[in-house]
Amino acid sequence: MTTQLCAWAVAAACLLALPAAAQTASTPSSTAPAGLYQALGEKPGITRLVDDFVNRAVKDPRIGSHFKDTKPQALKESLTDQICQLSGGPCQYEGGDMKSAHADMDITKAHFNALVEVLQAAMAAQGVAFAQQNRLLALLAPMHRDIITVR
């Protein structure tokens, strides 16, 4: 149980870090773990992962309401570019910063943790190895500071 809690904590922390890191990089991420982009299946694999993730997130009863004013296809394209860039791929994320994007969304730690769970489920469903899941989540973790708006 403790191992699972640690994995969730790492996952949550990673998810929070993704947008900020992606936003600042204009070339493939120099902080991306070697081979992560390839392990995620490069752009086609990341596109499948994000498609699954967003489809799950908008339907999840804990967090789905946060996506009511979001255009799913636009979100998928933006997240695909973010993850592609963060993982060391050639994509260029051109979206907004996470703090501004989430400022009025009243996101709690519970919402954030639910989102991480949904991402982990999507990664597992897409066959992303657990070690690679953790590598991606570690990149995303620092974003929680900008995404969680209700403390």
Q: Find the DSSP H helices in 30-127.
A: 36-39, 42-59, 72-86, 98-102, 109-125
Residue 14 is which amino acid? C
Q: Binding site membership for heme: which residues?
A: 102
pLDDT of the chain, 151 residues: tens digit per residue: 434 433 444 444 444 444 444 343 333 445 788 899 999 999 999 999 999 999 999 999 999 998 888 899 999 999 999 999 999 999 999 988 888 777 777 788 999 899 999 999 999 999 999 999 999 999 988 887 878 888 7
The set of residues, in sequence order, having a beta carbon less than 8 Å from that of 148 and lying 6+ positions away, is 16, 107, 108, 109, 111, 112
- The CATH fold assigned to 2-147 is Globin-like (1.10.490)
CB of 14 closer than 8 Å to CB of 139: yes
| Predicted local confidence at residue 104, as pLDDT | 74
Whole-number Å distance between alpha carbons of 71 and 94: 16
Domain boundaries defined on the chain:
2-147
Q: How many helices (H) and strands (E) does the chain have?
A: 8, 0
Q: Which two tokens stand for residue 123?
A: 């990664």
Q: Which residue is associated with the tokens 């993704």?
A: 18
Q: Binding site membership: which residues?
A: 102
Q: Which residue is associated with the tokens 């260029």?
A: 92
